[in-house]
A and B are shown apart, each in its own frame.
Chain A
């Protein structure tokens, strides 16, 4: 669109030029630089209104003659935004902004693109230049802190590990709260794959051009049944016509442990155990004290290097624009034995045929990742392992110290040697992913306003690996070690056929843009099941591990029709209306069809009321309403009565024969979509030529027919709980984003931006019939005891609100063991005295980005924070007690340091003492860049950068890390997020 306008402009200026190029000319000189200030060679400089043109030299300098009537110059260069500048006396300096910022003008939305200024929905697009910097393996991390309403929480620090992504809180209780991910027009499945740590790590972040975050229903409703939790559209880089351009970037990084979990030292344990032996007269534990002083966390963590190399070429070949990239990432985890490695390649071809009537877009991305998964149980083991013992010992278990029984065998349920867990387990896998799509767009010769578009896409994944445990391992010595092979394949195929119709009727100042699509998508997984083998001899199947079925093939399909109308009146009033009809194989023929409509309107106030204002350059009001759905429930056949075969370890003996079972499964034949209605109102604004720009959005989301697992009457079905449609919840929130450029002159520029989100989620109903005595549904299982839950789904409360006893403290402020407030004043403290207190989800999210550019230097900072979120410190509740040190199984364990505060003998799992404020502000990134400029005889330009990630965290939380990817807010030991130091260089040639 922009391109055609540009061409038009050029033609127009040339025509004008013919008439006016006659009077006295003058010489105009100047210099063209890129956004970093480096000289830009080969840029085209045209005197507006004439045919005069020239190109800049290698040092970016130009000289051109202009007639006296000429008022301005037009400067353009491939890959940069064309700019017009007034002719002044003296040298003119022009800084061109990179073409990437074109994308900030036209942004990718559902089933198409739209000019940002014409948007009616709530969409935030982040382009490559604004992505989170540093050493980033998984693509969602690029958006950390960049988008209001978007919360990204990495699961931990594992190499290639994934994140929990939430847009505007979650709309669902039991169904998935993950947003839909669309890669180059192909909605992909984001569930796990055997052998892959995380499916988003299969996309090379270097290949991504932009990511659009679709938040309100008008933006997402075209994705219908999968849109309730928002949509993230990933668009990869494409080629541009012109000479081949190459980019090479390389980065080396070192990850170091940022913070260790605070546990007791060997000396402290020795003191506690000795004192206890004196007090009780029982020397059982004193006798097993060791004499070493081992920091087990030092034993299992390491400094981990990683390297990331990428090369890409783009240009056109035989008239076909292309971009080809290759990437190689090699990353070690800070937990020993953890490794991630990715080879990736991407090819984009965008040829046009038939006088540009037929546009083809081919995008193929292939990656192969290899993983070595560390046994992450080692982290929990390290903080619980007796620090008085040395790492190694003379024994039959690989020489790793283990707590043994009198007979020399390991105590079965004792904590295992953390290093032994890592060294004696070898779990390696590789996963491949091919995402390909071919989009053919045909503009009809006889009716050019009508486009016919076919899009065929495929996402094909395969994962395979071997999880092998050494025969010496204390965990599996009884079976002589364990060899387990695993394998999965997934395929997701998309067929989509669309009609686009665009019409401008100048007579009634109207523009129409209509879309109609028929789409069909098929998802299946081939699950291969294998037995496990001992390492004693070949093919020695471990009893009970033989699978019932060698293969399984879960599958679901969606068939959809969708339509959209964009209507613009007088370039001031915008209307978008859309509807999607989805039919899903997950529901019965009677309930499988759902309709998801949306309407949005926008009013360009600036153009209507402040047309002449120089201060205000944009002001737009947006209003939207829409209904979206949810069907991501794990169970692919919830409506079908079916019988399932039991495993070989679940049989019953009649006579001398064992029979496997056929068990009927609970089902709800009426199960259907969960639907969310979203209302959104927002303003977009910009002042002083967008030196200050931003938006504010207010939303209200109401979900009904929640796909919930709720208690049902015993005897009514084959279970006492059932996945069915019941319940309502709501989310309300405000989002605010602001980008400013406080200072901008030739050599110095300071950008500052931030976003703030306020969100409140509340369950408004959970029952089919009213019951005043309903006590909610227990959720949030914890470690410790069996079946203990710390949270509730309760009407009127946020999901996963904690349900705890109110701790009573002594005068010194220390909690008194087992003493809680009798909340209902009935004279005894029992389960009825637990109360609802705090919740895991934040009230407020904040993202902050700033960058200072001075001459060739740039310095950037990025931070994100979360406020009003609480965590249940399960590590402390489980390990901060004497019982953790004096383990009842007759071995010594370590305790968290808060044991010194509480001196609890036994676990007090439900005390509110363990609910802690986990609000935090994390400085994600400091990055420093230096633009070397042209090197190698001006054949290349070089930029070098250094960054530190995960610089610091400000929080009151006493656990390891206040950021937790667990919806339930139960914080056990996680794989610590490392601090990463990286150095990179970027070469364009």
Chain B
């Protein structure tokens, strides 16, 4: 007995000593991958590429919410989603949108009174930079040397090489968002490694040049227009972005580049795209069928690409009790337009110009309806039934609960290119002509009036104001309005007033600092390299 006990004691003592082993402290999560294992094969690259594209559609790794890409105390659904943030910045400060909710500082957008501590702006500064950080990491891992070292060859390697150009396009696109909203930007490329230092800031003019050079540089590496799988970008996307960049070059750099704008718009126009029948179909659940008109879309799916800030937001936020007509089970009672948008249409009912989509079973377009007495009262103002989660073929949408939308968000579509050409012509760009400009505008209007010439314009109708109005009618709620109004000098000035501009029912001019958003204060705290924009 005693001996056996002694043996047990000895064994326990021995065991206690043997268990010591420092290596045991190197643990790795079972379901995660290291950078090495992630990029060990082509599938890994594709999953990261999907993430890079997906950052524009959803907010994290769990749809619709749960593991956000961007923390910092921001709300995943409303503050770090690309489409929603972009919409709040580009549409909410304009005549095209107002919001009824009380979410934090959301009213400051339409009031044109935001500050550098605004959380929505913080989210919209963070989102493109986050996307770029990811793209840089991908570019570091997708070099020819690394592919060779990892034995990735053949078509798989070719596809990854092509995807490098796509990633650079997306980086340029994200930088364009920074350029447009903030002017100067945090600037990082694949040379800036993770966690090693404070990023530098780039001035607006230099950023313009960078985007321009990147887009031109990748032209040869991108797939020819309309030859790559749906959802991925090709040469036409880069041309479209260049066209948009040049159209606004005077604002961005002080030097007009309308000729280049028209040239790149023309390249897209001649790449084989065509306007599709039925304007409403462009914003419905199965709008992937409209890819002949779409140059670059952000793809959303109610089941597989879920977020509260993609087209799901555009659908939900615009409806109330009339949500069934929007193809969803519930309304969020949030966003409407102002009367000024409705007034761009002579006939607001949609009977002639089908783009006037302000009528639902609950809300019509009578004069009393269009007036907003109380911003917080969702029932006031023209309701916008543009993004609708119903399929043209009547089939069921992917989410049985109809909580999340299938609608793809068109970033660039052919109409914009037509309008860029026409505006460039009116702004006296070389190598443009009236006949083509008129032809393009009338193509848009022909479709808008239900394949009819009822809305056809003549040469005398073609003015810059007409183009701005036509852009309003054709592209409203697609994220163009603020940029357009700035280009026309109308966002902050008294040249154009709309209801509740500047927080006043009749509209008022505001300080011209609101032509550009402030650099979020917290970012300046954590990165002293960032200078503030004038006036903030």
Mutual binders A and B: yes
Chain A positions within 8 Å of B, measured between CB atoms, are 353-354, 358, 405-407, 409, 411-413, 440, 442, 452, 454, 456, 478-479, 495-497, 518, 520, 522, 543-544, 548-549, 551-557, 559, 583-585, 589, 592, 636-637, 640-656, 658-665, 667-669, 709-721, 767-769, 771, 773-775, 777-779, 784-789, 830-832, 888-890, 906-907, 909
For residue B46, which residue of chain A has the nearest CB? A659
* Interface residues in B317-353 (C-beta closer than 8 Å to A): 320-321, 323-324, 329-333
Which of B28, B132, B199 sits near A713, CB closer than 8 Å?
B199
A767–B29 CB distance below 8 A: no
A920 to B409, CA, bound (A): 55
In the bound assembly, the distance between CA atoms of A658 and B231 in angstroms comes to 10
Q: Are A654 and B230 in contact (CB under 8 A)?
A: yes
Instruction: Check A717–B194 contact: CB distance below 8 A.
Output: yes
A785 touches B71 (CB 8 A): no
Contacts of B376 in A (CB 8 A): 906
B231 in contact with A653 (CB, 8 Å): yes
Contact across chains for B25 and A651 when beta carbons are under 8 A apart: no
Query: Which residues 370-390 of B have a CB within 8 angstroms of A?
Result: 376, 378
Task: Knowing A440-B12, A479-B401, A651-B304, say if A713 contacts B104 (CB, 8 Å).
Answer: no
In chain B between 202 and 253, which residues have their CB closer than 8 angstroms to a CB of chain A?
A: 229-232
A718 contacts B34, CB within 8 Å?
no
Residues on A with C-beta less than 8 A from B2 are 353-354
Give the contact-size bracket for chain B. Answer: 35 or more
- Chain A contact residues: helix, strand, loop or mixed: loop
Minimal Cβ-Cβ distance residue in B for A354: B2
- The distance in angstroms between the C-alpha atoms of A321 and B63, with both chains bound, is 58
User: Quick check: is B431 within 8 A (CB to CB) of the other chain?
Assistant: no
Judge if B197 is at the interface, Cβ distance under 8 Å: yes
Q: Which residues of B contact A518 (CB under 8 A)?
A: 16-17, 20
Q: A413-B330, A654-B230, A713-B526 are in contact. Are A664 and B27 (CB under 8 A)?
A: no
Please indicate the chain B residues that have their CB under 8 angstroms from the CB of A789 in the complex.
73
Cα of A133 to Cα of B506 in the assembled complex, Å: 68
Cβ of B102 and Cβ of A655 under 8 Å apart?
A: no
| Total residue contacts A-B, CB cutoff 8 A | 338
The interface residues of chain A lying within 8 Å CB-to-CB of B195 are 667-669, 716-717
In the complex, the answer to whether B9 meets A653 with C-beta atoms within 8 Å is no
Supposing A637-B28, A712-B526 touch, asked if A412 and B63 sit within 8 A by C-beta, the answer is: no
Residues in chain B near residue A778, CB distance under 8 A:
73, 119
Q: A552-B29, A644-B61, A660-B50 are in contact. List 10 more A-B contacts (CB 8 A).
A: A412-B330, A496-B16, A559-B22, A640-B28, A650-B60, A655-B230, A660-B47, A718-B133, A775-B522, A888-B320
CA distance A906 to B77 in the complex (A): 23
In the bound complex, residues from chain B placing their C-beta under 8 Å from that of A354 are: 2, 5-6
**B301 an interface residue at 8 Å Cβ cutoff?**
yes
Picked from A543, A641, A656, A830, the residue with its CB within 8 Å of the CB of B400 is: A543
Contacts of B13 in A (CB 8 A): 452, 454, 497
Partner of A664, one of B25, B134, B329: B134
**Interface centre among B20, B34, B196, B332, by most A CB within 10 Å?**
B20
B153 to chain A, nearest CB (A): 21
Give, as a whole number of angstroms, the nearest-CB distance from B262 to chain A. 32
User: B-side interface residues toward A, CB under 8 Å?
Assistant: 1-2, 5-6, 8-9, 12-13, 15-17, 19-20, 22, 24-35, 37-38, 44, 46-51, 53-54, 57-58, 60-64, 66-67, 69-75, 77-79, 100-105, 113, 115, 117, 119, 122, 125-126, 129-130, 132-134, 137, 186-188, 192, 194-199, 229-232, 299, 301, 303-306, 320-321, 323-324, 329-333, 376, 378, 398-402, 521-530
Please indicate the chain A residues that have their CB under 8 angstroms from the CB of B57 in the complex: 652
Chain A residues, Cβ within 8 Å of B194: 641, 667, 716-718
Assembled-state Cα–Cα distance A640/B398 (Å):
37
In the assembled complex, how far is the CB of residue B413 from the closest CB belonging to chain A, in whole angstroms? 18
Distance in Å: Cβ of A856 to nearest Cβ of chain B: 48
Residue numbers in A under 8 Å from B134 (CB-CB) = 663-664, 718
Neighbour of A888 across the interface among B22, B378, B400, CB < 8 A: B378
Q: Are A787 and B119 in contact (CB under 8 A)?
A: yes
**Does the CB pair A646–B75 fall under 8 Å?**
no
Contacts of A412 in B (CB 8 A): 323, 329-330
Contacts of B34 in A (CB 8 A): 640-643
Say whether B54 contacts A650, CB under 8 Å.
Answer: yes
* B72 & A711 in contact (Cβ 8 Å cutoff): yes
* Chain B residues with CB below 8 A from A645, complex form: 31-33, 47, 61
- Chain A residues lying within 8 Å of B100, measured Cβ to Cβ, are 888
With both beta carbons as reference points, the residue of chain B lying nearest to A556 in the complex is identified as B27
- Nearest residue (CB) in A for B101 is A785
Q: Which residues of B contact A721 (CB under 8 A)?
A: 71-73
> Knowing A495-B15, A643-B35, A716-B197 touch, does A830 contact B115 (C-beta < 8 A)?
yes
Q: A456 to nearest B CB, angstroms?
A: 7
C-alpha gap A452/B75 in the complex (Å): 55
Listed A/B pairs (18) with beta-carbon separation below 8 Å: A452-B13, A520-B19, A520-B20, A549-B31, A589-B26, A647-B62, A649-B304, A651-B50, A652-B231, A653-B230, A653-B305, A654-B46, A659-B46, A664-B137, A720-B71, A720-B130, A775-B522, A785-B101
Residues from chain B with a CB closer than 8 A to the CB of A642 are 28-29, 32-35
A719 to B113, CA, bound (A): 27
CB distance from A405 to the nearest CB of B (A): 7
Please determine whether B25 and A661 come into contact, CB atoms closer than 8 angstroms: no
- The docked-state distance in angstroms from the alpha carbon of A310 to that of B524 is 62
Complex Cα–Cα for A551 and B30 (A) = 9
Are B63 and A786 closer than 8 Å at their CB atoms?
no
The answer to whether B69 and A663 touch across the interface, beta carbons within 8 angstroms, is yes
Q: Are B232 and A720 in contact (CB under 8 A)?
A: no
B63 & A709 in contact (Cβ 8 Å cutoff): no
Chain A min CB distance to B340 (Å) = 24
Cβ–Cβ < 8 Å partners of B49 in chain A: 659
Alpha-carbon distance A788/B303, docked complex (angstroms): 28
Q: Is the CB of A585 within 8 A of B48?
A: no
Are A637 and B27 also in contact (CB < 8 A) when A520-B20, A543-B303, A661-B50 are?
yes
Interchain CA distance A658-B301 in the complex, whole Å: 10
Closest chain B residue, CB of each to CB of A480: B400
Q: How far is the CB of B323 from chain A (nearest CB, A)?
A: 8
Could you say which of A520, A641, A658 contacts B35, with CB atoms under 8 Å apart?
A: A641
Q: Which residues of B contact A478 (CB under 8 A)?
A: 329, 400-402
B residues less than 8 Å from A652 (CB atoms): 50-51, 53-54, 57, 231, 299, 305
Tell me how far the C-beta of B92 lies from the nearest C-beta in chain A, rounded to whole angstroms.
15
Q: Which residues of A contact B331 (CB under 8 A)?
A: 889
Nearest CB of B to A578, in Å: 20
Partner of B198, one of A543, A650, A716: A716
* B32, B119, B133 — most chain A CB neighbours (10 Å): B32
Give chain A residues whose Cβ lies under 8 Å from the Cβ of B30.
551-553
Note all chain A residues with C-beta closer than 8 A to B333: 888-889
A651: chain B residues within 8 A (beta carbon): 50, 54, 63, 301, 304-305
Complex CA distance for A774 and B116, rounded to whole angstroms: 12
Q: From residue B405, how far is it (CB to closest CB) to chain A in Å?
A: 13
Chain A CB count within 10 A is highest, among B230, B304, B320, B323, for: B304
| Chain B residue contacts of A654, Cβ below 8 A | 46, 50, 53, 229-232
Docked-complex contact A715 and B133, CB < 8 angstroms: yes
Which listed residue (B20, B33, B525) contacts A711, Cβ 8 A?
Answer: B525
Provide the bound-state CA to CA distance between A552 and B34, in Å: 16
CB distance from A584 to the nearest CB of B (A): 7
- Which of B35, B71, B195 counts the most A-chain CB atoms under 10 A from its CB? B195
Q: Which residues of A sit under 8 angstroms from B22, Cβ to Cβ? A: 559, 583
Residues of A within 8 A of B526 (CB): 710-713, 768
Which residues of chain B have C-beta atoms less than 8 A from A656's C-beta? 230
Complex Cα spacing A972 to B198, Å: 41
Instruction: Say yes or no: A719 contacts B71, CB within 8 Å.
Output: yes
Question: Does B199 lie within 8 Å of A787, measured CB to CB?
Answer: no
Shortest C-beta distance, B3 to chain A (Å), equals 10
Question: Which of B1, B20, B62, B102 meets A649, CB within 8 Å?
Answer: B62
Minimum CB distance partner of B44 in chain A: A662
